[in-house]
């Protein structure tokens, strides 16, 4: 199956038109016409080979994918042609380990989840590279395809498949509901989803941002308070206050300063991955029996649960829609935090009148 896309040919190169082939659909596969694909900061990390030198090239990024079913395999039972669907960060897993059996495919121990791009997938005994949603079509097993509720537009649904579930999962796991004091560090693509979801869950929500530049936006999204972390006197006054802090920032912060903001038995959850490791002071955990945790996206069932929750509560991502030929400029703006709040590539119209390669 001939595919048109955009790829990084080598580490730290600009994305450019790239033609490649996807595997022929198997009995349980779905062929999806990609309409939209969000830009995640991890796309930039991986094309720059910033996470341990494991990036595979040429690389077609993109794991916030929405579109319509173009065709289905002979044994597909859950979807039909024309359905609104999505694909997130995974396209398969071992399906046999304890994590997979618990619906936690993102923590698969049988070789790890098969990522939507920058990974390898075995099809009929042959290993082939996975390539992501910066492309006009994708082929995915029905078990790793999500149904997009009818009241969520496909463009605004795309970031939910990574940014949305990345915040929903820890908020549910650590019971961010009525009576809980929740802080979200950073109001970017991830953080703005955390504010909306935590507010809908009934928690008291505080945004911790370097400046007050985004204060009006944060309050409109459901934040109860917006704190500039550059004001140390205000930040210090919050020591021992929060039950849950979610750090969405992918740059290195002084985590010890934020740990001190946790109340007794409070938890700080990391969802952003900075390039360098952080140093943690043991006393900041021992005092008040605090915990430091991490969380990675969610399983397929929980991701569908998140989409249904967003549908019920009318939650979508705030987006700026672009064409694929603007992607390199968009990457520069992501690094400058110059987007409100997620870039989404209009894949369908970008490739509608031309073929790449």
Task: Name which of 161-170, 233-242, 270-279, 301-310 the model is least confident about.
Answer: 270-279
**Domains in the chain: how many in total?**
2
pLDDT confidence of 278, banded at 50, 70, 90? confident
- Tell me if 248 sits within 8 A of 191, measured CB to CB: yes
232: domain CATH number? 3.40.50.720
224 & 133 share domain: no
pLDDT in tens, 324-348: 999 999 999 999 989 999 999 999 9
Which residues fall within 8 angstroms of residue 182, CB to CB, at 6 or more apart?
171, 176, 198, 203, 204, 205, 206, 242, 243, 244, 245, 246
Q: How far is it, in rounded angstroms, from Cα 167 to Cα 244?
A: 12
155 & 188 share domain: no
211 & 227 share domain: yes
Residue 315 lies in a domain: yes
Question: Across all residues in the chain, what is the average pLDDT?
Answer: 94
**pTM of the predicted model as reported, rounded to 2 decimal places:** 0.94
pLDDT confidence of 353, banded at 50, 70, 90? low
Taking 60 as the threshold, does the pLDDT of residue 261 lie above it? yes
The boundaries of the domain holding residue 84 are 2-162+298-351
pLDDT in tens, 166-207: 999 999 999 999 999 999 999 999 999 999 999 999 999 999
Q: How far is it, in rounded angstroms, from Cα 116 to Cα 350?
A: 21
Which of 270, 294, 318 is at the close of a domain?
294
Which of 278, 294, 310 is at the close of a domain?
294
Taking 80 as the threshold, does the pLDDT of residue 91 lie above it? yes
If DSSP codes are grouped into helix, strand and coil, which group holds residue 119?
strand
Q: How far is it, in rounded angstroms, from Cα 230 to Cα 213?
A: 12
Residues, the chain, total?
A: 357
Beta strands per DSSP E along 295-341: 319-322
Taking 70 as the threshold, does the pLDDT of residue 354 lie above it? no
Residue 356 lies in a domain: no
Look at residue 225 in the predicted model and tell me its pLDDT: 96
Q: 106, 41, 42: which is closest to 297 by C-alpha?
A: 106
Taking 80 as the threshold, does the pLDDT of residue 250 lie above it? no
144: domain CATH number? 3.90.180.10
113 & 47 share domain: yes
């Amino acid at each position: 199956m001939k595919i048109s896309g955009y790829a990084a040919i080598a580490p730290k190169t600009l994305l450019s038109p790239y033609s490649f082939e996807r595997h022929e659909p198997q009995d349980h596969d779905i062929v999806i016409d990609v309409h939209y694909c969000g830009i995640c900061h991890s796309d930039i990390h991986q094309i720059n080979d910033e996470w341990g030198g494991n990036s595979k090239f040429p690389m077609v990024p993109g794991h916030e994918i929405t579109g319509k079913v173009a065709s289905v395999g002979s044994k597909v039972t859950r979807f039909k042609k024309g359905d609104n669907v999505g694909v997130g960060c995974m396209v398969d897993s071992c399906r046999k380990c304890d994590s997979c059996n618990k619906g936690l495919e993102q923590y698969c121990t049988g070789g790890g989840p098969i990522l939507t791009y920058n990974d390898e997938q075995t099809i009929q005994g042959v290993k082939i590279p996975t390539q992501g949603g910066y492309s006009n079509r994708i082929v995915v097993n029905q078990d790793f395809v999500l149904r997009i509720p009818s009241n969520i537009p496909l463009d605004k649904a795309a970031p939910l498949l990574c940014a949305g579930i990345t915040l929903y999962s820890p908020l549910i796991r650590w019971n961010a509901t009525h009576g809980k004091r929740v802080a979200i560090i950073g109001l970017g693509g991830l953080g703005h989803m955390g504010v909306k979801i935590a507010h809908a869950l009934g928690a008291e929500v505080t945004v911790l941002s370097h400046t007050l530049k985004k204060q009006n936006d944060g309050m409109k999204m459901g934040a109860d308070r917006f704190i500039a972390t550059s004001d140390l006197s205000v930040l210090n006054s919050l020591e021992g206050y929060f039950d849950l802090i979610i750090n969405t920032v992918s740059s290195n912060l002084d985590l010890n300063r934020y740990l001190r903001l946790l109340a007794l038995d409070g938890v700080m959850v990391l969802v952003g991955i900075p390039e360098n490791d952080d140093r943690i002071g043991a006393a900041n955990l021992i005092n008040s029996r605090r915990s430091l945790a991490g969380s990675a996206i969610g399983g397929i069932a929980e991701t569908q649960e998140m989409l249904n929750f967003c549908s019920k509560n009318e939650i979508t991502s705030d987006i700026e829609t672009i064409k694929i030929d603007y992607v390199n400029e968009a990457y520069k703006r992501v690094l400058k935090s110059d987007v409100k709040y997620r870039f989404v590539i209009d894949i369908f119209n970008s490739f509608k009148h031309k073929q790449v390669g």
